[in-house]
């Protein structure tokens, strides 16, 4: 098992080749998937991947369970929707605004709650997520409550408007790439080492001179900022957002995706998201209640059998 990343890697290491293949595969995917609904699903999966990659920084690296990721996603979605609807700010400005707002909220919540023991943080993020859902439903002047916000304009690059699903998928893929590169750099930085140390032994990390509070806030804030990106992507993709998307259940699903794919790994969030988003969609069409139960079951299985999820299994097989 490898906890800290190697500082020196050959230019074409196995991991790098693997990543490039996965990415090429992702690029070619919409050429194979021609069904319009599945292309829609593809975009949703990609947006979920952004969310889970972000979540993993808190869950997989700082080792803190964060049940508010869907809430931050909602903040981002509403922020960019309001920015474009009310102030005429284009998507690119909206993304930045979404990130800032989500990050600011995370800082505000994280600063006091990350001083407390881990289980308090879980509860506080849980409660905060629920409060956000209530706010999305009731801040009528901003969110229009359950009616939601329709008519969010599409993303434009110059004069070209991204209306079709395939180009939107590529736009989202571009953001996945950015977020992955950012995360990779982050994990390999001092901040990344501090987070891993916190996950591996917080009291010890504190006693060797790591300001654990500060680094946990960093991680949580970064997770939320990335959720903000996903929020903007989501709002401009559907052109309509409503409070029913950004629920506690969604946070739980993201959490499960992260665990199943492998927390604290680069590829895990993508694998977990791809598998479970497709599964959830199929199962929901079949029976929504059953889908919930299945998710719960996956979560339990992931916790019991594979502490590092599917990526852990792959590693095990590779090391055999």
Partner 1 sequence: MALLEIKSISVFYNKIKAVDNLTLFVEKGELVTLIGANGAGKTTVLRAISGLIRPRNGSIIFKGIDITRMRPDKIVQLGIAHCPEERKLFPRMKVKENLMMGAFLRKEGVGKTLEWIYSLFPVLKERENQLAGSLSGGEQQMLAIGRALMSQPELLMFDEPSLGLAPNLVKKLASTIKNLNQQGLSVLLVEQNVEIAFSISNRGYILENGKVVLSDSVEELKENDMVRKAYLGG
Rounded distance between C-alpha atoms, residue 275 and residue 72, angstroms: 23
Q: How far apart are CA 120 and CA 137, in angstroms?
A: 26
CB closer to partner 1, 1 vs 32: 1
CB of 164 to partner 1, least distance (A): 47
Q: Would you say 171 or 210 has its CB closer to partner 1? A: 210
185 by Cβ neighbours in 10 Å (0-12 / 13-18 / 19+) ranks as exposed
Tokens encoding 85? 């609807």
Nearer to partner 1, 205 or 222 (CB): 205
Q: Least CB distance from residue 213 to partner 1, whole Å?
A: 9
Nearer to partner 1, 206 or 249 (CB): 206
Q: Least distance (Å) from partner 1 to the CB of residue 194?
A: 7
Q: Which of residues 88 and 209 has its CB atom nearest to partner 1 in the complex?
A: 209
The CA radius of gyration of the chain, in Å to the nearest whole number, is 19
Residue 43 CA to its chain's centroid (Å): 14
Q: From the CB of 201, what's the least distance to partner 1, in Å? A: 6
User: What's the closest the beta carbon of residue 102 comes to partner 1, in angstroms?
Assistant: 28
State which residue, 36 or 200, has the beta carbon closest to partner 1.
Answer: 200
d(CA 298, CA 256) in angstroms, rounded, equals: 7
Kindly state the tokens that stand for 150.
């329709």
Buried b (16+ CB within 10 A) or exposed e, 89-98: bebeebbbbb
Is residue 216 within 8 A of residue 110, CB to CB? The reply is: yes
Q: How far is the CB of 3 from partner 1 (least distance, A)?
A: 5
- List contacts with partner 1 (CB under 8 A): 1, 3-4, 190, 193-194, 196-197, 200-201, 203-211
């Amino acid at each position: 098992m490898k906890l800290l990343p190697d500082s020196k890697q050959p230019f074409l290491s196995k991991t790098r080749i693997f990543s490039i293949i996965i990415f090429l595969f992702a690029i070619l995917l919409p050429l194979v998937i021609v069904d319009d609904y599945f292309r829609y699903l593809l975009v949703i999966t990609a947006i979920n991947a952004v969310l889970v990659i972000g979540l993993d920084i808190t869950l997989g690296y700082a080792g803190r369970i964060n049940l508010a990721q869907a809430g931050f996603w909602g903040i981002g979605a509403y922020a960019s929707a309001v920015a474009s609807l009310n102030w005429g700010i284009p998507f690119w400005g909206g993304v930045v605004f979404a990130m800032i707002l989500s990050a600011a909220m995370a800082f505000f919540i994280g600063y006091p709650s990350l001083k407390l023991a881990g289980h308090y943080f879980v509860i506080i993020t849980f409660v905060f997520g629920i409060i956000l859902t209530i706010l999305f439903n009731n801040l009528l002047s901003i969110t229009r409550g359950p009616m939601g916000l329709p008519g969010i304009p599409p993303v434009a690059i110059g004069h070209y408007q991204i209306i079709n699903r395939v180009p939107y998928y590529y736009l989202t893929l571009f953001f996945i790439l950015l977020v992955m590169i950012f995360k990779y750099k982050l994990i390999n930085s001092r901040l990344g080492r501090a987070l891993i140390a916190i996950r591996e032994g917080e009291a010890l990390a504190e006693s060797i001179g790591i300001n654990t509070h500060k680094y946990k806030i960093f991680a949580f804030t970064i997770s939320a900022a990335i959720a903000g990106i996903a929020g903007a992507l989501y709002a401009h993709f559907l052109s309509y957002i409503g409070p029913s998307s950004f629920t506690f259940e969604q946070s739980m699903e993201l959490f499960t995706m992260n665990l199943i794919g492998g927390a604290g790994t680069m590829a895990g969030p993508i694998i977990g998201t791809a598998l479970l988003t497709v599964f959830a969609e199929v199962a929901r069409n079949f029976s929504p209640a059953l889908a919930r139960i299945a998710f719960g079951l996956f979560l339990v299985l992931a916790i019991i059998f594979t502490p590092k999820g599917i990526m852990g299994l792959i590693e095990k097989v590779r090391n055999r």
